[in-house]
Structure 1
Amino acid sequence: MTAADIKIPASDKTLTSGKLFYNWFAANIGIMGVVYGAIIVGYHLSFVQLILAALVGALTFAIPGWVAVVGQREGVTTFKLSRAAFGVFGNRIPNVMAWFNMIGWLAINVITGTLLLTTMFQTLAIKKSPLIVLISLIIFASFVILSGTLKEATLATVQTLISWVFGLLTLVILALFFIHSDWQKVFAMPAGSWLAGFLPAVAFIAAGSSISWSMAAADWGAYVQPETKPAATFWQTTLGAGIPLFILMVGGIFLSTVSPHLATANDPYQAMYGSLPTWLGPIYFLVAAGGLVPQCLVSFRSARINLATMGIQLTQKRSLIGHSLVILTIAVYILFISGNFLTNFELFLNFLGICLASWVAIFLTDAVLNRRDGYDLNLLKPTSPVHYNWAGIAAWVIATIFGFLFTSNSVYRGPFAHGIFAHNSSLAVFVSGLAAIVVLLVASLFQKKERN
Structure 2
Amino acid sequence: MTSDNKVGAVETRGIEPVPDGDRNGNPLQLFWVWFAANISILGLPLGATLVALRGMNIWQAVLVGAIGSFGSFAVVGLISVAGKWGGAPSMTLSRAVFGPRGNHGPTLVSWLSRVGWEVVNTTTAAYALLAILHIAFGVGASSALTVVCLLAFVALTLLVSGLGHATLVWIQQRATYVFGVLNLIVGGFLVTKVHWHTVLHAPAAPMSVMIAGIGVIAGGTGIGWANAGADMARYQPRRVSGRRIVAAAAAGAGIPLVLLITLGGLLSTGDHTLAAASDPVAAIQAMLPSWMAIPYLLTAFGGLLLSNHLSVYSAGLTMITLGVRVRRVIAVGADVVLTLAGGVYLMLIAKNFYGPFITFISLLAVAITSWVAVFLVDMLTRREYDPAGLMDTTRGGLYWHHGGVAWSAFVAWAAGIVMGLMLTVAQTSDTDVWFSGPLAKTWPARNGLGWLVAFAVASVIYLILQAVTGRGTASRRARVSEAAS
Task: Note the C-alpha offset of 1:449.
Answer: 8.6
Describe the SS at the equivalent of 1:409: strand
Structure 1 unpaired stretches of 5+: none
User: 1:445 and 1:251 mapped to 2: Cα distance?
Assistant: 47
Give the match for residue 455 of structure 2: 433
Is 1:357 aligned to residue 357 of structure 2?
Answer: no
Contact 1:106 1:299 in 2 (8 A): yes
429-438 or 71-80: bigger deviation: 71-80
Task: Note the C-alpha offset of 1:323.
Answer: 1.8
Give the match for residue 190 of structure 2: 177
Give the match for residue 170 of structure 2: 157
Give the match for residue 193 of structure 1: 206
Structure 2 unpaired stretches of 5+: 1-13, 428-433, 475-485
Contact 2:151 2:340 in 1 (8 A): no
312-321 or 293-302: bigger deviation: 312-321
Contact 1:359 1:396 in 2 (8 A): yes
Contact 2:158 2:336 in 1 (8 A): yes
343-352 or 249-258: bigger deviation: 343-352
Contact 2:15 2:320 in 1 (8 A): no
Task: Note the C-alpha offset of 1:47.
Answer: 2.1
Contact 1:119 1:270 in 2 (8 A): no
Give the match for residue 206 of structure 1: 218
User: 1:220 and 1:315 mapped to 2: Cα distance?
Assistant: 18
User: 1:441 and 1:131 mapped to 2: Cα distance?
Assistant: 55
Choose the corresponding residue for 1:261, options 264, 268, 273. 273
User: 1:205 and 1:332 mapped to 2: Cα distance?
Assistant: 30
User: 1:57 and 1:142 mapped to 2: Cα distance?
Assistant: 33
Task: Note the C-alpha offset of 1:154.
Answer: 1.7
Contact 1:207 1:350 in 2 (8 A): no
Query: How do residues 210-289 of structure 1 correspond to structure 2 at under 5 angstroms?
Result: 210-257=222-269, 260-289=272-301
Task: Please list the CA deviations of residues 420-450 of structure 1 after superposition, one character each: whole Å capped at 9, or x if unmatched.
Answer: 24543x3111111111111112212322499
Query: How do residues 320-335 of structure 1 correspond to structure 2 at under 5 angstroms?
Result: 320-335=332-347
User: 1:127 and 1:188 mapped to 2: Cα distance?
Assistant: 45
Task: Note the C-alpha offset of 1:356.
Answer: 0.6
Is 1:82 aligned to residue 94 of structure 2?
Answer: yes
Tell me the TM-score normalized by structure 2: 0.85
User: 2:328 and 2:26 mapped to 1: Cα distance?
Assistant: 26
Contact 2:315 2:332 in 1 (8 A): no
Task: Note the C-alpha offset of 1:49.
Answer: 1.9
CA 1:105–1:377: 2 relative to 1, 3 Å: same
Contact 2:164 2:313 in 1 (8 A): no
Contact 2:160 2:167 in 1 (8 A): no
309-318 or 389-398: bigger deviation: 309-318
Task: Please list the CA deviations of residues 296-355 of structure 1 after superposition, one character each: whole Å capped at 9, or x if unmatched.
Answer: 1111111111122222122456434532342233323433424464x3465245312111
Give the match for residue 34 of structure 1: 44
For 2:192, the aligned partner's letter is I
Query: How do residues 127-166 of structure 1 correspond to structure 2 at under 5 angstroms?
Result: 133-166=146-179
- What percentage of aligned pairs have identical amino acids? 29
User: 1:349 and 1:201 mapped to 2: Cα distance?
Assistant: 20
Query: How do residues 115-130 of structure 1 correspond to structure 2 at under 5 angstroms?
Result: 115-124=127-136, 125-126=138-139
Contact 1:113 1:289 in 2 (8 A): yes
For 1:334, the aligned partner's letter is L
Task: Please list the CA deviations of residues 344-375 of structure 1 after superposition, one character each: whole Å capped at 9, or x if unmatched.
Answer: 4652453121111000110000111x31x433
Contact 2:119 2:340 in 1 (8 A): yes
User: 1:6 and 1:451 mapped to 2: Cα distance?
Assistant: 23
For 1:394, the aligned partner's letter is V
User: 2:329 and 2:442 mapped to 1: Cα distance?
Assistant: 50
Task: Note the C-alpha offset of 1:222.
Answer: 1.3
Give the match for residue 48 of structure 1: 59
Give the match for residue 416 of structure 1: 439
CA 1:291–1:11: 2 relative to 1, 3 Å: farther
Is 1:447 aligned to residue 464 of structure 2?
Answer: no
Q: CA RMSD in A?
A: 2.5
Task: Note the C-alpha offset of 1:147.
Answer: 3.7
User: 1:180 and 1:345 mapped to 2: Cα distance?
Assistant: 32
User: 2:332 and 2:93 mapped to 1: Cα distance?
Assistant: 25
Task: Please list the CA deviations of residues 180-226 of structure 1 after superposition, one character each: whole Å capped at 9, or x if unmatched.
Answer: 2112222333322332x223322222222211111111111211133
User: 2:143 and 2:197 mapped to 1: Cα distance?
Assistant: 41
Choose the corresponding residue for 1:16, options 26, 29, 41. 26
User: 1:427 and 1:391 mapped to 2: Cα distance?
Assistant: 25
Give the match for residue 294 of structure 1: 306
Task: Please list the CA deviations of residues 250-307 of structure 1 after superposition, one character each: whole Å capped at 9, or x if unmatched.
Answer: 1111222476222232321111111112222222122111112221111111111112
For 2:31, the aligned partner's letter is F
Contact 1:259 1:275 in 2 (8 A): no
CA 1:209–1:382: 2 relative to 1, 3 Å: same
CA 1:401–1:338: 2 relative to 1, 3 Å: farther
350-359 or 263-272: bigger deviation: 263-272
Contact 1:110 1:144 in 2 (8 A): no
User: 1:185 and 1:25 mapped to 2: Cα distance?
Assistant: 31
Is 1:70 aligned to residue 82 of structure 2?
Answer: yes
178-187 or 308-317: bigger deviation: 308-317
Task: Note the C-alpha offset of 1:377.
Answer: 4.8
Q: How many correspondences in the alignment? A: 444
User: 1:338 and 1:254 mapped to 2: Cα distance?
Assistant: 34
Contact 2:27 2:248 in 1 (8 A): yes
For 1:202, the aligned partner's letter is I
Contact 1:208 1:353 in 2 (8 A): no
Describe the SS at the equivalent of 1:180: coil
Task: Note the C-alpha offset of 1:417.
Answer: 0.5
25-34 or 8-17: bigger deviation: 8-17
Tell me the TM-score normalized by structure 1: 0.90
User: 1:23 and 1:392 mapped to 2: Cα distance?
Assistant: 30
Describe the SS at the equivalent of 2:435: coil
